[in-house]
Structure 1
Amino acid sequence: MKVFKFGGASIKSAEAIRNMASIVQENAQKELVVVVSAMGKTTNALESLLDKKRKGEDSELNELSKYHFNICDALFDNTEEITPKMNALLTELEDNLTQTSLPYDQHYDLVISYGELLSSLIVSEYLINKGLNVSLVDSRKYVITDDNYRNGYIDWDETALRIGKLRPQLEQGLILTQGFIGGTKDGHTTTLGREGSDYTAAIYSFCLDAESMTVWKDVPGILNADPKRIKEAELFHEIAYKEASEMTYYGASVIHPKTIKPLANKNIPLFVRSFDDPKSVGTIIHDCEVKHPTPSIIIKENQCLVSFNVLDYTFINEENLSLIFQELAGLDIKINIMQNSAISFSIVVDYREDKLEELIKVLKEHFEIKYNTGLELITIKNYRAETISQYRSGKNILLEQTSRNNYRALYVV
């Protein structure tokens, strides 16, 4: 049994969906779970609609609706069957947009989930139209999380129990479901973090003891750098689980950071392949040892440097650090890099204004807090001296670290 994941770029248009369907058809002779993201830039569009609605501004669904119906018109000779199903979802979305009394993160998950619900409906109907036996499964009822909205933590026992019950359906045909979204035990919609569809596919792979998992991308596999930023990016043919996990931790965007662990725990290989060239082998992430690995260049944008200075000229000690870490954990703020001096402790985090304001609010009576935004963090894994020189030159660097295998620098854009 295999799990395929198709991201937004692979189903952004009717032509893309036809290409995706041909890939699925070639593999449909075996038990297969297909996980899909929202189409194209739908998530961004829904975020904009949500923010406008909560500000009391006009938030019409016309453009979003038109985009999806245009795809349907291009895919189906007759849209009479899918149109009422689409309209039902869009009506639900319109109603849920008005739930502005909900806390922002809960409202976010409720609204943004409709990107995946719309895409999975269209793709499943098209695959059925192509003659495949498809069961459309609602991930909100199978991927069970806590109520940590926008970054739900998986209840693995309950999730494994529910997904395990899908085995009879798998024997009958293909299962298609949504990535990124989940639900609490009492039925509230949650999400797994931005770009979390990879993680969803890994969850299904783990719970169903998959033979392999494949992520279909608009790149030939995993490269040692973002090809949109670095033209000389090189393809990795194989990567060890540990190396891939570290790359995602440092910000490599090809795979969601939480994806590797459940696969590695069951030794399930992960393939990253191109949907534009499905015959190519791409990259395999598995249990292996790669000698003399090529340096990886990973750049994280929208970074924030936060510095905590003690108020009474005592030193930064374990008690100070404990207080800071406790609040960071409570706000679910992940540290990307940290550094301390005698009287100061600095961290680099992804910039979210609301969380930063809350952090400063609870710690300002203990520390003088300063911060810088609009920064980028570069990590060079398995660096070479010439690689560091190349990417260090001409940068206004605020923080810099070098360890045995990694070079990291934070700089002003």
Structure 2
Amino acid sequence: MHVFKFGGASVKDANSVKNVSNIIGLFPNQKTIIVISAMGKVTNLLEEIIHAYWNQETSLKTLFADFKKFHDQITNELGLKSKDFELKKQTIYQTFSDRLNQKPSKNYNYEYDQLVPFGEIMSTTIVASYLQTLRKDVQWLDAREVVRTTNLYREARVKWDLTSQAYIEKVHPFFKTDSVIVTQGFIGQTDEGMTTTLGREGSDFTAAIFAFIGNAKSVTIWKDVPGMLNADPRYFNGTVLLKKISFKEAVELAYYGASVIHPKTIQPLQNKDIPLYIKSFLKPTDAGTVIQASTEYDQEVPSYIFKENQILVSLTPKDFSFVAEDHLTEIFATLAKQHIRVNLMQNSAISFSFLMDEKHDINTLVENFNETYKVRYNSGLQLLTIRHFNDETINRLTVNKTTILTQKSREMARIILK
């Protein structure tokens, strides 16, 4: 069995859905689980719907109509006009509408997880139905019946034992008669039957979950790039394809901000030595990138990661005491309450500095620390991370920029720039 994952860009319109069918056709006589995200930018639209629903805004009706119009256009262009499909589609619309007509609870994250998965439910219904018009060995699967999770809404944790048992009960019977299973990324379900999500971009993780539990031979994530590049082409000319890297290297790159792979995806694949391919849905016969166990090729090409819109915060105890373990415990507890991830940190005897994304409320942060610490901060910064660096590379990438702070290890250079 193999697992394919197609993101929103790969199913953004009718022609893209047809392309997915063509790609699947390149792998005949292969049992495959197809994990699919919401179509195009539908998740963004759904987040607008959720915002309007939560605030009971008058725009909700129009936004819901946009959701239906977008999917209706795709289904019409695909020629999906059977009574069976129309019933499935209208049932989804009605279930969604009924949910929007209920008053929201007091838990925003819960409401988010009950509403946003309609994107994945709709996309997989469309793709599975289209494939079923072309071949008879396709089944649609509700991922919530397999992926069992905690009730930490928007960041649910997988219950692996229950998920494994559900996989045996739900997936094994399908593969006795069919070759292709189409299911949703991103979503799961609690023991009480409530829908959960695995974190934004969690569809990659869903693919890894199915691969791990089903002992897949490989996972392929189909993207609009030729594979995993050594840098973001938006910032760098002459980017290089990483043809083969290790699980360790991929985890490091993901952790420090490379956006091609979801960080949680690698661990289950590494645990069972399941290779992960990153390939282009635009050129599906190209080799792409393979992520596997060997570290032999990791240092062949340096990798560069830019994080924009950073704030460097420096804390100094007002009583001029050393920054010791008790201070650090207090600092990280405060950051955790604001859900702030530290992108880089450094301390001296009487100060502690950390870098964070500008999206967080700096005024609230200052207020939380102001009683005990003198707080200073610089905004509008960049964080440059270089794997397998040399001095020439650093000089080239920092030219005409002011260096605020530099950290180096054997394999990594991290530089805050203005």
Normalised to the residue count of structure 1, the TM-score between the two structures is 0.92
**Who is 1:298 aligned against?**
305
Distance 2:311 2:85 in 1: 45
Question: Runs of 5+ in structure 1 lacking a partner?
Answer: none
2:107 is the counterpart of 1:100: no
**Residue type at the aligned position of 1:308:** L
2: CA distance, partners of 1:15 / 1:312: 65
Distance 1:141 1:385 in 2: 52
Tell me, in whole angstroms, the C-alpha distance in 1 between the residues paired with 2:52 and 2:368: 29
| 1:55 CA displacement | 3.2
Alpha-carbon displacement from aligned partner over 1:53-72 (angstroms, at most 9, x marks no partner): 33332222122211111000
Give 1:346's match in structure 2, choosing from 329, 346, 353. Answer: 353
Instruction: Return the alpha-carbon distance in structure 1 between the equivalents of residues 358 and 92 of structure 2.
Output: 33
Kindly indicate whether the alpha-carbon contact (under 8 Å) linking 2:249 and 2:298 is maintained by their aligned counterparts in 1.
no
Change (3 A) 1:367 1:224: same
Is the alpha carbon distance of 1:401 and 1:72 closer, same or farther for their aligned partners in structure 2, counting shifts above 3 Å? same
1:25 corresponds to: 25
| CA offset digits 1:303-328 (Å, max 9, x no partner) | 44333332211111011112223344
Cα drift, residue 297 of structure 1: 0.8
Question: Do the aligned partners of residues 72 and 375 (structure 1) sit closer, same or farther apart at CA in structure 2, a change above 3 Å counting?
Answer: farther
Give the secondary structure class of the aligned counterpart of 1:5. Answer: strand
Amino acid at match of 1:229: Y
Identity %: 42
Say if 1:99 and 1:107, in contact at 8 Å, map to a contact too.
no
Residue of structure 1 in register with 2:205 after alignment: 199
Corresponding residue SS for 1:377: strand
Deviation at 1:261, TM superposition (A): 0.7
Matched, 1:69 2:84: no
- Aligned partner letter, 1:141: E
1:169 matched to 2:186: no
Choose which of 87, 92, 96 in structure 2 pairs with 1:89. 92
* CA displacement 1:317-367 (0-9 Å, x = unmatched): 01111222334456654322111122222222345537x777666555443
Give the match's secondary structure for 2:264: coil
For residues 93 and 365 of structure 1, the distance between their equivalents in structure 2, rounded to whole angstroms, comes to: 47
2:132 to 117, 128, 143: 128
Listed one character per residue, the Cα deviations across residues 193-237 of structure 1 (whole Å, up to 9, x for unaligned) are: 111111110011000110111111111111101123323110111
| Range with greater deviation from structure 2 (69-78 or 249-258) | 69-78
- Trace 1:201-220 onto structure 2 (pairs within 5 A): 201-220=207-226
| Mapped contact 2:35–2:207 kept (Cα < 8 A) | yes
Please say if residues 269 and 286 of structure 1, whose CA atoms lie closer than 8 Å, have aligned partners that are also in contact.
yes
Kept in 2: contact 1:37–1:180 (CA 8 A): yes
**Given that residues 301 and 377 in structure 1 are in contact (C-alpha distance below 8 angstroms), is that contact kept between their aligned partners in structure 2?**
yes
Q: Which residue of 1 aligns with 2:146?
A: 142
Correspondence list, 1:367-406, <5 A: 367-406=373-412
Mapped to 1, the partners of 2:350 and 2:190 lie a distance apart of: 43
149 and 370 in structure 1: CA distance in 2 versus 1, 3 angstrom threshold: farther
What amino acid sits opposite 1:42 in the alignment? V
Q: Using the alignment, how far apart are the partners of 2:144 and 2:4 within structure 1?
A: 18
How far apart are 1:374 and its partner, in Å? 4.7
Q: Which ranges in structure 2 are unaligned for 5 or more consecutive residues?
A: none
Q: Is the 8 A contact 2:246 2:298 kept in 1?
A: no
Deviation at 1:176, TM superposition (A): 1.1
Aligned residues: 411
Query: Counterparts of 2:125 and 2:92 in 1: how far apart (Å)?
Result: 9
Give the one of 278, 285, 292 matched to 2:291: 285
8 Å CA contact retained: 1:32, 1:170: no
Q: Is the 8 A contact 1:141 1:187 kept in 2?
A: no
Given the superposition, is the C-alpha separation of residues 308 and 109 from structure 1 closer, same or farther in structure 2, using an over 3 Å criterion?
Answer: farther
Please tell me the residue identity of whatever aligns with 1:16.
S
Distance between the aligned counterparts of 1:360 and 1:86, measured in 2? 49
Q: Matches of 1:358 and 1:96 in 2, distance apart? A: 34
* Residues 31 and 268 of structure 1, relative CA distance in 2, 3 Å threshold: same
